[in-house]
Amino acid sequence: MGVLIDNFALYRDGFLVSLRICLYAMVGSLLLGTLIASFRVSPVPPLRAFGAAWVTVFRNCPLTIVLFFFAFGIPEVGINASFFTFGVTGLVFYTSAFVCEAVRSGINAVPTGQAEAYRSIGLTFGQGMRFIVLPQALRTVVPPLGSVIIAMFKNSAIVGAVGVGGDLFSVGESLSSAQGNPVLPVLLGVALGYLAITLPSAAGLAVVERRVAIAR
Amino acid sequence: MSSVLYDEPGPRARRVTLYASVVAAVLVAVLLFLVYRRLDQNGQFSSARWSPLLNPGDADFSAVWRLLGGGIRSTLTAAVLSIVASLVVGTVLASLRLLAGRVSRLPVIGLIELLRGLPVLIMIYLVSRVLPEYGLDLANPLWYLVIGLTLYNSVVIAEIIRAGVASLPRGQGEAALAIGMSPSQSLRLVQLPQAFRVMLPSLISQLVVVLKDTSLGFIILYGETVRTANLIIQETKNPIQMYLVIGALFVLTNYALSRFAQYVERRLSRSSSAEVIDEPVTAMAGD
C-alpha cells in the first residue's frame, strides 16, 4: 500500500481533474439537456423533431465514439481546442440526451388533470407552472437526474482515457504501467477515489428519493 | 394535441404555433447549412474521404470493410458473451439477496453497491492488469472485456430482477409456500420465471448499454469496432466520415433494440397481471 501514500499528490491531482471535468460537464449538460427537453415538449414540430433526433443520436451512440469524433474529427474542419475542452463538450452532448429524457419524463408524469384543474380555477399559465406543474415535475425529476449525474462522474474516466489525461483513471493507468509498482494497490486507490464520490452520492440520492416521493 | 403544459390549441394558438414552426424550421436549416458549409470548405465531402467507406468500386473498399466487419463481429461476440454471463451471474446474485437472511444478505448488498459505484472502464482495466499479475493470463483481451462488463452488468441485472420479483403480487410467493415449496423452490419455479417476463423490456435495454460499453475494449487493445476504426483512419485519414459511419451503425442497432424493448413492454402490459416497470430505469442513466 506504500505506493498509495508515496503518490498521494498524484492521486489528489487526478481526483481534482476528474471533479473538474464532472463539474463543467454537469453545468453544461443540465443546461443543454433542459433546453433540449423544452424543445421536445414544445408544441412546435420542427423543435420537437430536432430534440427527438438529438436524443436518439446521443443516447444510442457509445460515448467513446462521441469523444473520438470530437478529439480527432473536429480538428479536421479547422476547429482546434484542447483535449480537455473537446472531452468536456463530448461528455456534455452525450449526457444532455439523458438529462433531457429525465426532465421530459418528469413533466409527462404530471397528470393532465392537474393542468385542467389549474386552468379551471382561473390560474394563468405562469401561475400554473409555478404552483402546480413544476413543483410536481421537479420532485419526479430529481432521482433520475441524480443517477444521470452519478453515471456522468463514472463516464469522466472514459474522457480521461480518450485523451484528456491527468484524471484519476489516467493517474492509475500511468502508475500501474510504470516499472515496479504493484498493480492491485495502485488501481484500488483509483477505485477508492471513484467510490468516494459515487457511494455517498447514491446514498444521499436514496434519502432524497424517499423524501420527495409523491404518492400518486 | 393537449398536454399538461398546454391545452388543445384554438385558432390563435394554432397561428402562433405555425409562425413559430416557420421560424424554428429556418433556424434549424441555417444551423444545418452552417455545419454543411464548414464541412464542405474543409473538403469533407470529397470522394477520397467517403468512397473507401461507401463506394464498392473503390480500391480500398473491400479491405476497409473486411477489417470493419471483423471489428463488428468482435463487438457482437463480446456483447453476447457479456450479456449471457451477466444474466447468469445477475440471477445468482439476485437469488442470494432474496433468499439470504437479514444479516447474511449484507455482504451481497455490499458487493452490489461496490460494483455499481465503479466506472466500467476501471473494472475492465483492473481485470486486464490484475488477473495476469496473479497468474491468470487469458491471452485474448476478449475475456478481460467480458469479465469486466459482466462484473458491472451482472449487478445491474441483479437489481432489475429483484425489482421484477418485488413487483409480483405477494400471493404468488405465499401460494408457493402454502403448497409446501421451499423458499428457493418458490423463487426458482414461481417467482423468477414471472420476474423475467416482467423485466424483459429492461433486460433488452440493458443489452443496449452492454453493446455501447464494448467500445471500451479499446483501452485493453481488443479489436472491436471502434479500435478497428481508429486503426483504419491512420491509413485512410478520414476520421469524420469513419466515426459518422460506425456511429450510425451503433445508433441504428441500438435504436432498433430500444424500439423492440418498447414493443415487448406494450405486449406485456396488455396481457400480464403483474405491474410492468414502465421505464427501463438503468438504461436511462447513461452508464
What ipTM does this complex have? 0.87
A141, A99 in Cβ contact below 8 A? no
Residues of chain A with C-beta less than 8 angstroms from the C-beta of B38 = 77-78
Q: Which residue from B4, B116, B251 is facing A115, i.e. has the nearest CB? A: B4
Residue B277 has pLDDT above 70, yes or no: no
Residue B2's pLDDT band (cuts 50, 70, 90):
low
B4 touches chain A (CB under 8 A): yes
Whether A108 sits inside 8 A of B3 (CB atoms) is yes
pLDDT for position B285? 62
Q: Which grid cell sits at B185? A: 423452490
Residue B281 has pLDDT above 50, yes or no: no
pLDDT tens digits for range A104-124: 988 888 888 888 898 899 888
The residue type found at B236 is T
pLDDT for position A143? 86
Residue B282 has pLDDT above 70, yes or no: no
Residue B278 has pLDDT above 70, yes or no: no
pLDDT tens digits for range B140-197: 889 999 999 999 999 999 988 988 888 888 889 899 999 999 988 999 899 999 888 8
Whether B4 sits inside 8 A of A105 (CB atoms) is no
Max distance between CA atoms of chain A, in angstroms, equals 74
CA-based nearest residue in chain B for residue A106:
B4
pLDDT tens digits for range B106-152: 888 888 888 888 999 989 988 888 888 777 777 788 999 999 999 99
Closest C-alpha among B212, B5, B185 to residue A137: B5
Mean pLDDT of B21-28: 94
Residue B50 has pLDDT above 90, yes or no: no
pLDDT for position B1? 46
Percent of chain B beyond pLDDT 90?
37
Residues of chain A with C-beta less than 8 angstroms from the C-beta of B118 = 154, 191, 194-195, 198
Whether A65 sits inside 8 A of B117 (CB atoms) is no
